[in-house]
Amino acid sequence: MKAWVHHETGGPEVLRLEDRPKPLPGRGEVLVRNRAVGLNPVDWKFILWGHPAWAWPHIPGVDGAGEVEAVGEGVHHLRPGARVAYHNDLLRPGSFAEYTVIPARAAIPLPDALSFAAAAALPCPGLTALQAVKKLPLPPGAQVMVTGASGAVGGALLQLARVRGWVVHAVSSSAQAGRVLRLGAASVTDYRRDGWREDWAKRITDQPLEAVFDMVNGAHAASLAPLLAANGHLVCIQDRQETAPLPAFTTTISLHEVGLNGLHAHGTDVQWGRLVSAGAAMAADMATGRFDPQILEVAAFDDLPAALARLKAGPNPGNRVITL
């Protein structure tokens, strides 16, 4: 098979298109013939960082969509020809290839009406956003803030929050205001404007925030903790809080971290079943137009390194997808 591999760490330019052995599925695994690949920031970051668990050369990529080519021993719920999308463990050989072996429990069934390009945009952004919103027991009408709202995960989170009836205040660039409002935001704050945090410190008197979803970093999330109402929730999607951002026994907020890849090593089959079921529902909503896959770019397999470089350079108001 053809695969994009790297023999060393570095930028997207270290990727090389090579012939690699077509893999075989083991017990509990399936072989997927990739028809589309979703690009995510974690892809270029780990090409740059590397990982001690990798065998070199390494095939990167966590998201893909295609048809089941073969099933391994013990797999009874999937058959060759089944249309699936997946998020693969970043420690395994990945999706930047014509074929990828994945755990069968991670395969998300797809409706026939959904294109593989749209399906490949689902797993990492959609399931990450899904994990984030499911951490919070908030009722309809709850006021929440989403930073980084114009990105792929932010756009998915806006849509999931809207369905739950939450009132979402997006923080993004003013250039993306129309888009984030369409995806479900009730208001948009330009993060480039000086004093926006101070303005929000005044607004919370009338609009107390019950949750903040942050997609920047831990320090940025900590700076927003004072905006939360008592018993509010601070959800870190790009990082985590190593220490409590506020004094004990004050507003007693809850701290949450979100890391989709950790579910591969630590998630149970029951948890994966729930996640895949929710992913399948999201795919069905994509097929009927109720959920926007936020496709920013569709590029050819030969253009993968250049598309990944465009993702790294940004901005990325949506998902970049590769088709095979």
Give the pLDDT of residue 207: 85
Q: Are residues 46 and 151 in the same domain?
A: no
> For residue 21, what is the DSSP state?
P
Enter the pTM of the model: 0.96
Distance CA 138, CA 164 (A): 9
Beta-sheet pairing, 254-257 with 83-87: unpaired
How many beta carbons lie within 10 A of that of residue 127, not counting itself?
A: 25
Share of the chain above pLDDT 90, in %: 99
Give the pLDDT of residue 263: 96
Q: Are residues 252 and 284 in the same domain?
A: no
When pLDDT is cut at 50, 70 and 90, the band that residue 186 belongs to is: very high
The tens digit of pLDDT for each residue in 289-302 reads 999 999 999 999 99
Give the pLDDT of residue 139: 97
pLDDT, mean of residues 27-36: 98
The tens digit of pLDDT for each residue in 63-95 reads 999 999 999 999 999 999 999 999 999 999 999
**Sequence-ordered list of residues with C-beta below 8 angstroms from that of 48, at least 6 positions apart, any chain:** 9, 10, 11
The tens digit of pLDDT for each residue in 187-202 reads 999 999 999 999 999 9
24: domain CATH number is: 3.90.180.10
Give the pLDDT of residue 270: 97
The tens digit of pLDDT for each residue in 134-153 reads 999 999 999 999 999 999 99
Q: Is residue 130 part of a domain?
A: no
Examine the fold and report which residue of 226, 257, 288 is the final residue of a domain before the chain moves on. Answer: 257
164: domain CATH number is: 3.40.50.720
As for how many domains the chain has, the answer is: 2
Residue 318 in this model has a pLDDT that exceeds 90: yes
Residue 206 in this model has a pLDDT that exceeds 90: no
Domain that holds residue 229: 136-257
pLDDT, mean of residues 150-175: 97
Q: Are residues 38 and 53 in the same domain?
A: yes
Q: Are residues 34 and 88 in the same domain?
A: yes
Strand ranges (E), the chain = 2-5, 16-19, 29-39, 63-71, 83-87, 99-103, 107-109, 143-147, 167-172, 187-190, 209-214, 228-236, 254-257, 295-300, 319-323
Residue 171 in this model has a pLDDT that exceeds 90: yes
Q: Are residues 14 and 99 in the same domain?
A: yes
Distance CA 179, CA 294 (A): 10
The tens digit of pLDDT for each residue in 218-250 reads 999 999 999 999 999 999 999 999 999 999 999
Question: Residue 16 forms beta bridges with which residues?
Answer: 5
Tokens of 104: 């069968």
Q: Are residues 6 and 117 in the same domain?
A: yes
Q: Are residues 109 and 142 in the same domain?
A: no
Q: Are residues 115 and 12 in the same domain?
A: yes
How many beta carbons lie within 10 A of that of residue 109, not counting itself?
A: 16
How many beta carbons lie within 10 A of that of residue 73, not counting itself?
A: 9
